[in-house]
Chains A and B, each alone.
Chain A
Amino acid sequence: MRGELFGSPTAAQLIEAVREFLESLGDDIPRDRAFHLRVAINALRVAERELAISREAEAGHRQRMAALGASDDTDLARTIRAGQFPPDRRDEILASVLADVEARLQANSPDYIGRYDAGE
């Protein structure tokens, strides 16, 4: 993924620098913008986490798709919508899709599974 053409700072390092700048604004932002500032910082955190894991996570996703015999999420979604998956493979499909969602949550909301299990 990370080639030498663009060198340093990498895309991830640029995002990190912008995120640190936004975090430093703190109380300089009018109150009615403070919420969106926090949302913007969170958006950059998501992007940073995605870049850190994307190569491995995408490979895992492709492996799971291949094991199910689906070409991609669109193909899998269409098959489920059409009711064309054999009932005896339900558990396997659910486990595979759940693994994808867990991988997405590592970037999008890394605390979520722990909070879910804690009953929050």
Chain B
Amino acid sequence: MQAGPEVSGQEGVDRRVLLLRPHDNCLIACAPIAAGTRLMLDGGAITVAQDVALGHKIARKALRAGDKVLRCDAVIGSLTRDVAPGEHLHLHNLQSDYLPTYTLADGGRFVDGSPSAKDSA
């Protein structure tokens, strides 16, 4: 099992995103991508649902709440809600299976930014 990303499944995939491994269910933006952009993938086209910044993730296909997100063949967390192809995957719908993710709230305080913390608040 390779540890490093490998774009071996990239044939036929739009160069504005990286498909790091053939079985990954997310794509990585190589540049800022505007909402509404159509990306050609080997299995057809998807439409990017929100503006996505460089280095951020996009759902490659429809996913269900509870599904694991695979990046480089490794699990990077679980989805907290259903996701359509082309949706931005980040703190609002993806959470760690290990530790809460702390972000800076207004005023510079560290807060638990994971979806379950927001839902229970």
Is B truly associated with A? no
Q: Could you list which residues of chain A lie within 8 angstroms of chain B, going by C-beta atoms?
A: none
